[in-house]
């Protein structure tokens, strides 16, 4: 039909290319300058990402131990299947320093321990500690690109918490690093992937609150906010939620359904809304959903289960519930009303499950190459 | 009541008749019909007659809605040649026939993802504007992707 070699219109070309996997597109950049320019356009990268989130069957990456690089990939339609050689963890240049390429369990002094601190839009953020210093890496799983962040050293901290999320207002990815120096002094540092640097911010973490364990929050950071579940000092009952707006870089407090809300809770995100998954001694567990963001009165009981051997992780991007049932990792599809088992056991605290998202998002300095 | 028929004219001036209620699956045609009643011939100056025949075959399908997805997939699978698929995708884009556009673009994407770079260049009619040195520099820059 096409007899002459006529250039394809950009509109047609981009409609085809948003359907091509990110890894293949990364290779295609070398084909020609105009093609590289098209593939580097922020609008193209965004359309490609939105389409892959909306259309691709969800694949879940399971990091089985907090400080280990053992990771397996499972399709959410049949999670008992393991996709062989699906991803390869990045390995450092120095062969003695294969912090993420090796299983690095245990906190031997001088050894390296790494953990997933967040995942959004196909980027997974790792932190690792080595001889009293913290390092961070951002990894694009689809195109195996790895960004090593400049080291941040904070003297005199005795407790720290760090999280990763997407700032849609500035189209940026950020790490928020909270370090506690003393009872009343908490410092906040932010790394911006767009600006490629750390900065300290004057905004204070609300005082007199203790951050509950880092695996008490699951799957945030997609909508421009990070959350922490907090209690009063010397207390174990969840008291309030601290939210951080990644665009405005401000903290705010969000109330729980009632004060002193039990002590076995996890925060998560379900269909874009904040949700709270809570275990109770006397009546199983419940899922609560915050219908209007920031309005404590809008908490609504969404789901109840009276099984006492269940522990909820959170919800997948496809709104399926991930949980352990007597330590066996499982997921529940509310539309088909069907439970699917991964057929293996995990440690409920210490396992990270993140979605694999096919994504071209790379570190901004690459985007200007033409 | 007899069904209203529209006449579409391809780039090479061939005429095709199609019932209006089927033709308006194309958002572009629907808008034209709304605007001027489209009593006369609708010219489609970017679509050649072979492609228009395919589009009309697709619009005339008698599929139950639940089988539609499978049908359109099979429809493009049977036209597995990339030049044909590109014409079809372009026509579906111009005429705004979403499912056909989706399926045709998806098929091309599926085919090219296993191609070598040279084959992709040929399939997508992209001119090689790089010197071998530049090509090597890009490969080195994006080494992680190869």
- Please state, for a pLDDT cut of 90, what percent of chain A lies above it: 38
* The B15-19 sheet, strands edge to edge: B15-19, B5-9, B41-43
Q: Cβ A32–B129 below 8 Å, yes or no?
A: yes
Cβ contacts (< 8 Å) between A5 and chain B: which residues? 125
Which residue has better confidence, A104 or A317? A317
> Which positions ≥6 away from A330 have C-beta within 8 Å?
A79, A322, A323, A324, A339, A340, A341, A342
C-alpha distance from B6 to closest chain A C-alpha (Å): 25
pLDDT digits (tens, 9 = 90+) for A124-163: 998 877 656 778 888 898 988 888 888 888 877 778 888 9
Cα–Cα distance between A197 and A188 in angstroms, integer? 14
C-alpha distance from A228 to closest chain B C-alpha (Å): 35
Cβ contacts (< 8 Å) between A145 and chain B: which residues? 144-145
pLDDT digits (tens, 9 = 90+) for A17-40: 999 999 999 888 888 888 988 998
3-state secondary structure of A300: strand
Q: Cβ B127–A32 below 8 Å, yes or no?
A: yes
CB A128 within 8 A of CB A101: no
Residues (pLDDT < 70) of chain B are 1-2, 37-39, 138-146
Cβ contacts (< 8 Å) between A6 and chain B: which residues? 125
| In the predicted structure, residue A358 carries a pLDDT above the cut 50 | yes
Q: Nearest-CA residue of chain A relative to B106?
A: A19
Token pair 């096919």: residue: A358
């Amino acid at each position: 039909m096409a007899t002459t070699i006529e250039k394809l219109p950009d509109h047609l070309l981009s409609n085809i290319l948003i359907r091509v996997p990110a890894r293949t597109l990364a290779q295609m950049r070398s084909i020609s300058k105009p093609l590289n320019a098209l593939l580097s356009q922020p609008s193209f990268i965004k359309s490609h990402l939105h389409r892959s989130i909306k259309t691709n069957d969800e694949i879940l990456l399971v990091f089985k131990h907090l400080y280990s690089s053992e990771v397996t990939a499972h399709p959410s339609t049949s999670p008992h299947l393991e996709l062989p050689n699906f991803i390869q963890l990045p390995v450092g240049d120095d062969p003695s320093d294969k912090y993420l390429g090796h299983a690095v369990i245990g906190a031997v002094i001088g050894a390296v321990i790494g953990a997933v601190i967040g995942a959004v839009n196909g980027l997974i953020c790792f932190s690792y500690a080595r001889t009293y210093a913290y390092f961070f890496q951002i990894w694009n799983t689809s195109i195996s690109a790895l960004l090593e962040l400049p080291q941040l050293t904070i003297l005199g901290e005795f407790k720290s918490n760090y999280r990763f999320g997407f700032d849609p207002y500035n189209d940026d990815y950020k790490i928020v690093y909270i370090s506690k120096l003393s009872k009343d002094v908490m410092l906040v540092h932010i790394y911006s992937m767009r600006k490629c640097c750390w900065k300290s911010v004057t905004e204070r973490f609300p005082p007199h609150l203790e951050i509950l364990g880092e695996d008490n929050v699951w799957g945030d950071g997609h909508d421009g906010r990070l959350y922490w579940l907090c209690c009063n000092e010397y207390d174990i009952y969840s008291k309030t939620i601290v939210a951080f707006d990644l665009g405005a870089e401000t903290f705010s407090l969000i109330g729980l359904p009632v004060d002193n809300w039990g002590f076995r809770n996890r925060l998560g995100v379900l269909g874009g809304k904040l949700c709270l998954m809570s275990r109770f001694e006397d009546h199983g567990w419940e899922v609560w959903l915050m219908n209007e963001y920031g309005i404590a009165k809008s908490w609504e009981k969404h789901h109840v289960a009276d099984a006492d051997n269940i522990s909820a992780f959170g919800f997948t991007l496809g709104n399926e519930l991930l949980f352990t049932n007597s330590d066996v990792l499982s997921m529940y599809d509310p539309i088909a009303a069907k439970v699917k088992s991964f057929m293996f056991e995990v440690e409920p605290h210490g396992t990270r499950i993140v979605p694999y998202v096919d994504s071209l998002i790379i570190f901004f300095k690459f985007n200007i190459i033409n | 009541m007899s069904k209203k028929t529209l006449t579409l004219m391809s780039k090479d001036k061939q005429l095709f008749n199609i019932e209006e209620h089927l033709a308006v699956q194309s958002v572009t045609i629907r808008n034209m019909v709304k605007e001027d009643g489209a009593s006369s011939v609708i010219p489609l100056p970017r679509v050649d007659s072979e492609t228009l025949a395919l589009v009309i075959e697709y619009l005339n399908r008698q599929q139950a809605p639940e089988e539609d997805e499978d049908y359109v997939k099979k429809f493009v699978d049977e036209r597995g040649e990339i030049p044909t698929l590109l014409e079809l995708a372009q026509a579906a884009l111009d005429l705004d026939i979403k499912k056909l556009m989706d399926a045709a673009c998806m098929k091309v994407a599926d085919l090219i993802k296993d191609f070598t770079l040279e084959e992709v260049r040929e399939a997508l009619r992209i001119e090689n504007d790089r010197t071998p040195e530049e090509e090597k520099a890009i490969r080195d820059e994006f080494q992680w992707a190869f």
